[in-house]
């Protein structure tokens, strides 16, 4: 509740939390206007009717909030992002107006790292192809299978060595893989060796796991040259943002064998995945589900809620975005 009045602050909810407990708390503490419940064709008129009263926005990393919507919200004080990535948030505009932005780091680290290793393992052991082999009856009919390669001794390169990148490296080490990382600034206090460039990391890696943040500075950082450096025996794993990978170059590299395999949870224009990518046999695809566990989605939603409560209660934000 607002610390200056007894009136509930009005917030615009662009997407619901999967946690019913979080949504119940949200409704109790705030006057919620749910844009996601409105039919697309009715949203502009509906939004115009409430925009002048909105003081907070709850959004996701994928949806974010753009300049056009920000301009419609003259009283906006805070944007609370349910997710780590804020590349879809118009940060220049929020900074210019003194609007706070929060996200949900930390609480999704372990589950996203788990999915990264799940994808790596699925690609390494060709699990989708093996399942098709059984389901199709090929095994029963004695169709041959090519062997895969062991993980032990292979190099897991990690692009972006923050919380998630370090958690991925720890899991890779448990499989007796050697680990390397690249990000522009070295990380203090870690034993993992840093490569000087992303290209150097790709050359040194059997598996390249993308964990870096999205945004203009990293767009298409994994380009044709990086894919070629990873090579025909290499595998790309992306659990970060689709924008980090040049998707056209990736399709071409997978088609012509320049790159051996890819395992992707994120894409350039979600949820639209090009047919050229979906039709390839040497790729594992999942629908951006790195944090999609009951426990993590509740923790993320709770952190969003707690940031909103802190702001409107006059307390310091828990996880502000610089």
Active site amino acids: 241, 270, 288
- Whole-number Å distance between alpha carbons of 84 and 196: 26
CB 281 within 8 A of CB 129: yes
Q: Cα dist. 311→31, 319, 321 in Å?
A: 15, 11, 13
Count of Cβ atoms closer than 10 Å to residue 314 Cβ: 9
CB 272 within 8 A of CB 247: no
Q: Which residues contact 148 (CB under 8 A, 6 or more apart)?
A: 124, 125, 126
Closest Cα partner for 35 from 7, 6, 65, 8?
Answer: 65
| 310 CA to centre of own chain | 25
Query: Any idea which residue has 């070629």 for tokens?
Result: 228
């Amino acid at each position: 509740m607002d610390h200056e009045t007894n009136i509930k602050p009005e917030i615009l909810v662009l997407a619901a939390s999967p946690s019913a407990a979080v949504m119940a708390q949200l409704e109790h503490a705030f006057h919620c206007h749910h844009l996601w419940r409105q039919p697309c064709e009715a949203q502009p008129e509906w939004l115009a009717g409430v925009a002048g009263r909105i003081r907070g926005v709850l959004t996701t990393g994928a949806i974010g909030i753009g300049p056009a919507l920000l301009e419609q919200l003259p009283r906006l004080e805070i944007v609370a992002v349910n997710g780590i990535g804020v590349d879809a948030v118009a940060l220049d505009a929020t900074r210019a107006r003194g609007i706070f932005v929060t996200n949900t780091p930390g609480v999704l680290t372990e589950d996203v790292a788990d999915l990264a290793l799940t994808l790596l393992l699925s690609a390494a052991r060709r699990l989708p192809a093996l399942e098709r082999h059984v389901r199709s009856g090929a095994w029963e009919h004695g169709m041959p299978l090519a062997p895969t390669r062991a993980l032990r001794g292979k190099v897991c390169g990690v692009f972006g060595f923050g919380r998630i990148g370090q958690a991925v490296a720890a899991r890779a080490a448990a499989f007796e893989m050697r680990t390397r990382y690249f990000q522009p600034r070295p990380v203090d206090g870690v034993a993992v060796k840093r490569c000087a460039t992303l290209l150097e990391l790709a050359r040194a890696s059997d598996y390249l796991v993308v964990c870096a943040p999205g945004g203009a500075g990293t767009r298409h950082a994994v380009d044709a040259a990086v894919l070629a450096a990873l090579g025909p025996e290499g595998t790309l794993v992306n659990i970060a943002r689709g924008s980090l990978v040049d998707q056209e170059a990736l399709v071409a590299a997978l088609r012509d064998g320049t790159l051996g395999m890819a395992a992707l949870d994120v894409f350039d224009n979600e949820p639209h995945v090009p047919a050229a990518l979906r039709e390839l046999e040497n790729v594992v695809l999942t629908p951006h589900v790195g944090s999609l566990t009951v426990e993590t989605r509740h923790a993320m939603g709770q952190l969003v809620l707690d940031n909103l409560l802190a702001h409107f209660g006059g307390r310091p934000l828990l996880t502000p975005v610089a």
